[in-house]
Amino acid sequence: MKDNPKIWLSPPHIEDDEKQSLNDLIDSNWVTTGGPATTAFEEDLKRYLEVDSPVVALNSGTSAIHLALLLAGVTRGDSVMCQTMSFVATANPILYIGANPIFIDSEMETWNMCPETLENAIKKEIENDGKIPAAIIVVHSYGMPCKIDELSEISKKYNIPLIEDAAEALGSKYKDRKCGSFGDFATFSFNGNKIITTGTGGALVIKNKKLEKNARHLANQAKTSSFDYDHDVLGYNYGMSGLSAAMGIAQLKGVEKKVNIRRANNWFYWEIFDPIEEVFMLKEPILSFYSNFWLTTILFDPKGENKLNKDDLRKCLEAENIECRMLWKPLHQQSFYSKYNYYGTGIAEMLYLNGLCLPSGSSLSMEEKERIASVIKDYFKN
Ligand SMILES: *Cc1c(COP(=O)(O)O)cnc(C)c1O
């Protein structure tokens, strides 16, 4: 029924004791960018990610990707290899720079960038263009680590900087190492729907420590001095506010709990869908992969005989005021990206047509789960 309270896909999850840290921050008056809270949040992130690399807190995940591309030396006319199955923010900064995205299909084990397709594409691009692509952006979609060993190897072999878009993968691990610790650059988002939130916010992890200073410079309007308003290059207003940082510090303390709840949500869905032959759930392929299961995703068998499909299940969930969404529309199918090159065999397209994301927030209650389970079970009974 529509008058049931709405169950959201992945709403912000803020606990009462976190409100105090915002009050304290306001009392300190460091509400704007560049204060002690921001530095403290960066240190907390570094510790959490177990990296030695500098971490720069920013105002969004999108800004973090933009800065990563700039620091990787990408300029107008360059080409950038980019996973096609992702949120549009993964690729948009490529166009901000005037570079050309080249979209790469997924593989079926993680739904992320296919290493073989990537390598073929690099070879073809070099053959056609005589130019080596300027960067590679891989994504850990829905929290599932991509095949980072194979992808890193290709990045090293061709000497192309690797950017890990870990916006959805805070707390995910590969071979016991946190996602965001592998690439030459890694980016996080703390938007309201992500694992932790700072309202809006992001972070950039930079492997080469020498680039840290320039990252901060570019994020702060490339200001050489406050006194005389001198700026040496084109900069950006990308810093994180103290308010966001205070929220981030409080949120990060609860990150393990939030990840465990999302993993438990995934298990809850697993029990529902396991007996249903026509539905496939994305699983960690082998033990090396540890997903935070930011969103639980299901895939209907495109060749299923009983004509069960995502659209009918979606209608049943929506009728009960339960939000669900399709998987990412492949970026090469977005109208303004359709003129750019794409390499693949239609896997991302198939995922888009047959997949569904289900409510997965870390504040999902027992009662809400019961409502969801009853709608799904009803749908498959008929
Ligand atoms: C959320 C998200 C972003 C963008 O982050 P914002 O903080 O919203 O700018 C980038 N890439 C992926 C994969 C995302 O899910």
What is the tens place of the pLDDT at every residue in 61-84? 999 999 999 999 999 999 999 999
Lining ligand 1 with CB less than 6 A are 60-62, 86-87, 89-90, 139, 165, 167-168, 189, 191, 202
Tell me how far the alpha carbon of residue 381 lies from the centroid of ligand 1, in angstroms.
37
pLDDT bracket for residue 2 (50, 70, 90): low
Tell me how far the alpha carbon of residue 107 lies from the centroid of ligand 1, in angstroms.
21
- Which residues are 189's β-sheet partners? 202
Q: What is the pLDDT of residues 116-131, one digit of tens each?
A: 999 999 999 999 989 9
Pocket test for ligand 1, best of 90, 94, 139, 357 (most atoms within 8 A of CB): 90
**Cβ proximity of 298 and 356 under 8 Å:** yes
Backbone angles phi, psi at 302, to 5 degrees: -65, -20
Length of the chain: 382
The pLDDT, as a whole number, for residue 302 is 86
DSSP class per residue in 130-144? S---SEEEEE-GGG-
User: Exposed (0-12), middle (13-18) or buried (19+): which is 253, by Cβ within 10 Å?
Assistant: middle
Q: Which ligand 1 atom is the nearest neighbour of the CA of 141?
A: 13
Tell me how far the alpha carbon of residue 111 lies from the centroid of ligand 1, in angstroms.
17
Residue minimizing CA distance to atom 5 of ligand 1: 61
Tell me how far the alpha carbon of residue 339 lies from the centroid of ligand 1, in angstroms.
23
- Half-sphere exposure for 139 (CA within 13 Å, toward CB): 28
Pocket test for ligand 1, best of 65, 191, 195, 196 (most atoms within 8 A of CB): 191
- Copy the structure tokens of residue 125: 């691009």
CB-CB neighbours of 237 under 10 Å: 10
Which of 174, 117, 116 minimizes the C-alpha distance to 140? 174
Question: What is the value of pTM for the model shown?
Answer: 0.97
Q: Which helix (H) or strand (E) holds 121?
A: helix 115-129
Pocket test for ligand 1, best of 88, 137, 144, 168 (most atoms within 8 A of CB): 168
Q: For residues 361 and 167, what is the distance between their CA atoms, to the nearest angstrom?
A: 15
Q: What is the pLDDT of residues 129-171, one digit of tens each?
A: 899 999 999 999 999 999 999 999 999 999 999 999 999 999 9
Q: For residues 168 and 105, what is the distance between their CA atoms, to the nearest angstrom?
A: 19
- Copy the structure tokens of residue 158: 């061709």
